[in-house]
Amino acid sequence: MSARSIRRLARSLVLAGLLLGSAASAHAEDVLVFAAASLKTALDRIATDWEQATGHTVAVSYAGSSQLARQIVQGAPADIYISASTDWMDYLQKASLIEDATRIDLLSNSLVLIAHGAQAEAISFGPDTDLAGMLGDERLAMAMVDSVPAGIYGKMALTQLGLWDEVAPKVAQTDNVRAALALVSSGEAPYGIVYATDALVDENVGIIASFPATSHAPIVYPAAMVHGSVGPEARGFFAALSGADAEAVFRQNGFLVPTGHGDG
């Protein structure tokens, strides 16, 4: 059996097992992408457009960047990895699991405080904000604060503002940022911390404050080919991610695209 056949078989098993419930189907697609959950709305559109243009198929598994990185370490046969954190891409690079020459900083984002209800009113937010008091006996929805990028950025921002210690006991941690968004959207949590792009796709939440960019590390989405990926289709899709059509979709969904992308 050829190396490509082995990867296709492994991919089928991944899609039927580890990726059950994601955007992936149970047959072997031409391209398998592991991507941060916050990319779902934009990346689904980009993948569909590329499939229609090329006739090839793309499967995308969305989860927390940490979870996806660990799956790659365990041998999951992804072709492309897109993280919401440089730390997790560094983790794979140090393990020699990505093609170093392909690594790019694809996108950036911002961090916001959201509330249930599209008409939620904006607040003045800073070190003097009594966020713990606003929560009362309820919870602040955040992605896992020690492993998932959105949660790490959120904890960093709250700590920098001097709010973390009082808020920490009231945090409801989720596996990824879209799960935190869902808690606020459903009303199970009155407030949450997510990326601005997440808030824009849910009509049941409103952005009530934005975190200063200086309150947390830059939110960068690095992308790279995973070491061992075979076949030209994956490289074609990877190139398309920084092309003009994909850039337009990313921008429409609120992402910031570094200068120089969109040329190829």
Long-range contacts of 257-261 (CB under 8 A, 24+ apart): 257/106, 257/107, 258/105, 258/106, 258/107, 258/108, 261/106
For residues 167-171, give the mean pLDDT. Answer: 98
Three-state DSSP at 154 gives helix
pLDDT, tens digit, 9 for 90 and up, residues 202-217: 999 999 999 999 999 9
Half-sphere exposure of 233 (CA within 13 A, CB side): 19
Residues facing residue 195 across a β-bridge = 111
Same fold, 3-108+219-252 and 111-215: yes
User: pLDDT class for 28, splitting at 50, 70, 90?
Assistant: low
Query: Helix, strand, coil shares of the chain as percentages rounded to 5?
Result: 45, 20, 35
- CA 31, distance to chain mean position in Å, is 18
H-assigned helices in 144-176: 149-160, 164-167
Residue 260 has a pLDDT of: 62
The owner of tokens 């009155």 is: 190
Name the superfamily (CATH) of residues 111-215: Periplasmic binding protein-like II (3.40.190.10)
pLDDT digit string, tens, across residues 173-198: 999 999 999 999 999 999 999 999 99
For residue 205, list its beta bridge partners.
Answer: 116
Domain 3-108+219-252: which CATH class?
A: alpha beta
235, 225 in Cβ contact below 8 A? yes
Model confidence at 200: pLDDT above 70: yes
What confidence score (pLDDT) does residue 27 get?
A: 45
Q: What percent of the chain has pLDDT over 90?
A: 85
Complete DSSP assignment for 116-146: ESTTPPP---STT--HHHHHTTS-EEEE-TT
* Mean pLDDT computed over 67-71: 96
Sequence ranges of the domains in the chain? 3-108+219-252, 111-215
Confidence label for 16 from pLDDT (cuts 50, 70 and 90): very low
**CA gap 103, 238 in Å, rounded:** 10
The band of 166, judged by pLDDT with boundaries at 50, 70 and 90, is: very high
Better-predicted residue by pLDDT, 14 or 207: 207
pLDDT of residue 22: 41
Asked whether the predicted pLDDT for residue 122 surpasses 80, the reply is: yes
Does residue 216 sit in helix, strand or coil? coil
pTM: 0.82
> What is the average per-residue pLDDT within 79-95?
97
Q: Mean pLDDT over residues 74-102, rounded? A: 97
- Please report how the helices 86-94 and 65-73 are oriented relative to each other, as an axis angle in degrees rounded to 10: 10
Name residue 158's amino acid: L
